[in-house]
Structure 1
C-alpha cells in the first residue's frame, strides 16, 4: 500500500466514523506527524478525499471536512435510491440465491458488531449489505456511479447509527426484513422497503443551520489527539 493510500484510508475512516466533525479544519502537518510520513502523501490524500466528497479544499485557507446541507443529503439519498433499486432488480434477475447469501453474510457481521458494541464495525457491515446489490448486478458502471456519493452518505449514516435513539435498531430490522423478503420471493416488497430504508436519512438527520464560515472556526487539535483519531482499527471479522 502506498503512503498516499494509507493516509487516505486512515483519514477517511476518521471522517466516516464521526471522529472528525463536519466543517472541521484538518491540519496537513499534524496528520503527517501522526502518520509518520511527509506532508506530500497527506496532500495527495486530501485530493482523493475531495473527489469522494469528504473534504473541501479552500485555496489559501485549508482543508475542511465536508459540511452537507439538507439539499445535499436529499439529492444524494435520492440518487443512491435510484441506483440501488436498479442494482437490486438486476441482481434478482441474475442470481437471487447468491444475493441472499451475500446479504446474510453482511447481517452476520452486523450481529458481531452489535454484540461487541462497535458502531464503526456496524457501519462497515451496513455498507457491505448495500454493496451486495451493486456487486451482483453485473453492471460495473452502476457501482462507479454509486461511488460518487457512497462515502459521504456512509459518514452521515454512521453518525445516526452511533447516536442516541433507535436508528440502528430500525436499520438492523430493515436489513433482515429485506433479506427475508428476497428469500421468500417478495421482490416488489423488498424494493419498496429498500427505498424507504435509504430515504429515512432525509427525515432523521439533524443538520446545522450555521454558515460554512462559522463551522470552519473549529478548535485546533493537539498532536496527541491526531494520533488517537488516526489510530488504525481492527478489520471487521
Structure 2
C-alpha cells in the first residue's frame, strides 16, 4: 500500500466512523506529522477523499470534512434507492436463493455486532448486506454508480447508529424482514420495503439547509488527538 493509499484509508475510516466530525477542518501539516510522512501524500489523499464525497477543499481556506445538507442527503438516498431497486429486481430474477444466502451472512455479522455492542461493526455489516444486493445483480456498472455516494451515506448511517434512539433495532429488523420476503418470493413487497428502508434516513437526521461553506466548524484538534485517531489499526 502506498503512502497516499494508507493516508486515504486512515482518513476515510476516521471520517466515516465519526471520529472526525462533519465540518471539521483537516490540517495537512498536522495529519502528515501524525502519520509520519510528508505533506505530499496527505495532499493527494485529500483529493481522493474529495472524489469520494467525504471532504470539501476550499481554495485559500483549507480542507473540511463534508457536511451534507438535507437536500444532499435526499438526493443521495433517492439515487441509492433507484439503484438498489433495480439491482434487487435483477438479483431476484437471476438467483433469489443465492441472494438469501448472501444476506444471511451479513445478518449474522450484524447480530454479532449487536451482541458485542460495536456500532462500527454493525455499519460494516450493513454495508455488506446492501453490497450483496448490488453484486448479485451481476452488473458492474450498477456497483460503480453506487460507489459515487457509498462513503458519504455510510458516514451518515454511522452517525445514526452511534446515536440515541432505536435505529439499530429498527434497521436490524428491516434487514431480516427483507431477507424473509425474498425467501418467500414476495418480490414486490421486498422492493417496497427496500425503498422505505433506504429513504428513512431523510426523516432521521437533523441537517442544515445552508451552503456548505457556511457549515464549516473550523474545529482544531491537538496533535495528540489527531495521532490517536489516525494511529489506530485499520479494520480488516
Aligned to 1:8: 8
Aligned to 1:88: 88
Unpaired segments of 5 or more residues in structure 2?
A: none
**2:44 aligned with 1:41:** no
Aligned to 2:126: 126
TM-score of the two chains, using structure 1 as the length reference: 0.95
Aligned to 1:204: 204
| Higher alpha-carbon deviation: 158-167 or 223-232 | 223-232
| Higher alpha-carbon deviation: 207-216 or 34-43 | 207-216
| Aligned-residue offset at 1:168 | 1.3
For residues 74 and 214 of structure 2, the distance between their equivalents in structure 1, rounded to whole angstroms, comes to 23
Unpaired segments of 5 or more residues in structure 1?
A: none
Question: SS of the residue aligned with 2:219?
Answer: coil
Matches within 5 A, 1:219-234: 219-233=219-233
Question: How many equivalent residue pairs?
Answer: 236
Matches within 5 A, 1:119-198: 119-198=119-198
How well do the aligned residues superpose, as a CA RMSD in angstroms?
A: 1.4
Matches within 5 A, 1:91-130: 91-130=91-130
Q: Is the 8 A contact 1:24 1:215 kept in 2?
A: no
Post-superposition CA distance 1:155-188 (Å, at most 9, x none)? 0111001100001110011001111111111111
**2:91 aligned with 1:71:** no
| Aligned-residue offset at 1:214 | 4.7
| Higher alpha-carbon deviation: 22-31 or 74-83 | 22-31
Question: SS of the residue aligned with 1:154?
Answer: helix
For residues 91 and 233 of structure 1, the distance between their equivalents in structure 2, rounded to whole angstroms, comes to 35
For residues 210 and 7 of structure 2, the distance between their equivalents in structure 1, rounded to whole angstroms, comes to 30
For residues 72 and 217 of structure 2, the distance between their equivalents in structure 1, rounded to whole angstroms, comes to 22
